Structures are given as structure tokens and as C-alpha cells.
Amino acid sequence: MARILDGKATAAEIKAEVAAGIEELEAAGRSVRLDVVLVGDDPASATYVGGKEADASQVGMASRVHRFPAGVTQQRLTDLVDELNHDPAVSGFIVQLPLPEGLDPLPLISRIRPEKDVDGLNPESAGRLSMGLPSLMPCTPHGIIQLLRRHDLPLEGREAVVLGRSNLVGKPMAQLLLRENATVTVCHSRTRGLAEVASRADILIVASGQREMVGAEHVKEGAVVVDVGIHRKQEGGLAGDVRFDEVEPKASAITPVPGGVGPMTRAMLLHNALQAARATLA
């Protein structure tokens, strides 16, 4: 029986800390505001942004959503990024992805000042992370580190295997595990003998984006398994990248889907906004 790593409970802890941090800043006459740029009418994006607004409000953080129709010009968005970069009332902001067809996210993301880049996705933030310099860190991998740390699961000297190499999760995850002194292996679609490689892991992070691809054969007895995937089942409910029922009996600890990594990602966005407001990088 694996220990279930309850992301909801840990996220609640972090949110309480963020709320306290905001009060402290406000007592000193400063405020925290998290802005979101939302373009078009993708229903999933609208839901995520709604969630972010609710999260912010829950911890007493101001937030503002800048809404645009799908037909907005790249230039208008560029101007907005510049405006938000320079507005001292805005602690940090994100551009909700994906953008509608015809708009290029990269120049916008790259233009966000690293001090306000609360998604941690701009190239300078990525470089600072990789070099071990202070930076705002991508929410999902940082949330996973927090989840492991707050469950007293040691990383130093352990074998960590990351399945997936996206810019959003896999690559920054590898950097953060390395910073924690784990021995880190990154696997991907071209990896040969994946089950063998994955089952070396003391800590296995699955971010392949493929529904239920990881089973018992990928997992060492006693491993810690973190499932980043989230997939909507046709029959209703959610599934991860891991076949939970099969892996759970073998693991020593495992994240559920939902209620594992997801809430941590959301909490870390608030954490980043507070960190940005404290201007730790400025």
C-alpha cells in the first residue's frame, strides 16, 4: 500500500503561507497583483483562468484578467506585455496558452520581464534556472519538488527518472531535481528499453502526456511515483499518465489524479506572484 501524496492538502498549506505573506506585505503598505492575458474563447482556457482568479481571491491576492477576441493583433498583445512589464501595480502576469491560430506566443513570453514571469517560461527564466541563479520557477516542477519535500521524501543522491522532456515540465523538472542533488535521467519517446530505464528510479516523474502509459513494469518496488498527466475519460472522470491501480501496490508513495500535481501547480502560481511582489529578483 503506497502512501498517497495529497496535493490538495499540501497546496492548502502553501496557499495559507501565501495568504500570510500577502498580509505581511500589505501591512508594509505593499500589494500583490497577478494579471492574466486571455485571448479567444477556448473553453478550457476560460476554465483555467477562472480557477486562477478564484485561487487568487482565496488568498487575498488581487488579480485582473485582460480579455481579447481571437482576432486581436500580435502588436496589441506586445504593447500590453510592455505595459504590464512597466506597471508597478502588477507583481507578475501570465499569457494563458495556447493562443489562437495566427498569434505567436514565443515573442510575447520572451518579452515578459523575468522578475514578472510568474509562469517561469521565458528563455531567460529557463536559463537562470538551469544555471542555478535566482529565478521564478515553472509551477508544475516546482510544485512537485515542494510536494516531495513536504512529505519528507529525500532526493539527494537518489536516482530520479523524468519521463518527458517538455519545456513546461520535463526539462525544468530535471534541472530542479539536479539542484536537489539527485542523479537525474531524462527519458522520452526515443528512449530504448523504457521500462528498464524507468524502473531504476527511486523517484519517477511521469510527464509523457500519454494516458495511462506507465504500468507496473516501469516501476521499481518501493519507488515514489509522481503523475503529471491529466486526461478526461470518455466515460467521465480523469486519468493520469500512470495506471494507478497497477502501480500503487508497488510504489512506496504516489500522487493521485486528480488531487496530486494539479493543485500544486495552481498553488505555485500564487507563490510565484508573491515572490515577484517581494521583488526578490529585482
Query: Contact with its own copies (CB under 8 A): which of 71, 123, 237, 249?
Result: 123
Q: Smallest gap, in angstroms, from Cβ of residue 197 to its own copies?
A: 6
Q: Is 254 annotated as a binding residue?
A: no
Active-site residue, from 96, 146, 175, 275: 96
Q: Which of residues 157-196 bind its own copies (CB under 8 A)?
A: 157-159, 165, 167, 171, 174-175, 178, 181, 183-188, 190-192
Q: Is the peptide bond before 107 cis (omega within 30 degrees of 0)?
A: no
Q: How far is the CB of 272 from its own copies (least distance, A)?
A: 17
Q: Which is nearer to its own copies, 54 or 106 (CB)?
A: 106
Tell me how far, at minimum, the Cβ of 223 lies from its own copies, in Å: 15
Annotated binding residue 232: no
Catalytic residue chosen out of the listed positions 117, 119, 202, 227: 119
Task: Give the interface segment with its own copies, choosing from 29-37, 153-161, 251-259, 263-271 (CB under 8 A).
Answer: 153-161
Say if residue 7 carries a ligand binding annotation.
no
What DSSP letter does each residue of the chain carry, written as one string?
-PEE--HHHHHHHHHHHHHHHHHHHHHTT---EEEEEEES--HHHHHHHHHHHHHHHHTT-EEEEEEE-TT--HHHHHHHHHHHHH-TT--EEEE-SSPPTT--HHHHHHHS-GGGBTT--SHHHHHHHHHT---PPPHHHHHHHHHHHTTT---TT-EEEEE---TTTHHHHHHHHHHTT-EEEEE-TT-SSHHHHHTT-SEEEE---STT-B-GGG--TT-EEEE---EE-TTSSEE-SB-HHHHTTT-SEE--SSSSHHHHHHHHHHHHHHHHHTTS--
Q: Is it true that the peptide bond before 98 is cis, omega within 30 degrees of 0?
A: yes
Size of the site for its own copies (CB under 8 A): 34
| Catalytic site includes residue 275 | no
Catalytic-residue membership of 202? no
Is 282 among the residues that bind its own copies (CB under 8 A)?
no
Is 52 known to be catalytic? yes
Q: Which of 10, 63, 96, 125 binds its own copies (CB under 8 A)?
A: 125
Between 61 and 203, name the residue whose CB sits nearer to its own copies: 203
Q: How far apart are CA 39 and CA 177, in angstroms?
A: 34
* Contact region with its own copies (CB under 8 A), list: 52-60, 152-160, 222-230, 271-279: 152-160
Residues within the interface to its own copies (CB under 8 A): 106, 122-133, 156-159, 165, 167, 171, 174-175, 178, 181, 183-188, 190-192, 197
Catalytic residue IDs: 52, 96, 119
Binding site, annotated residues for NADP(+):
164-166, 230
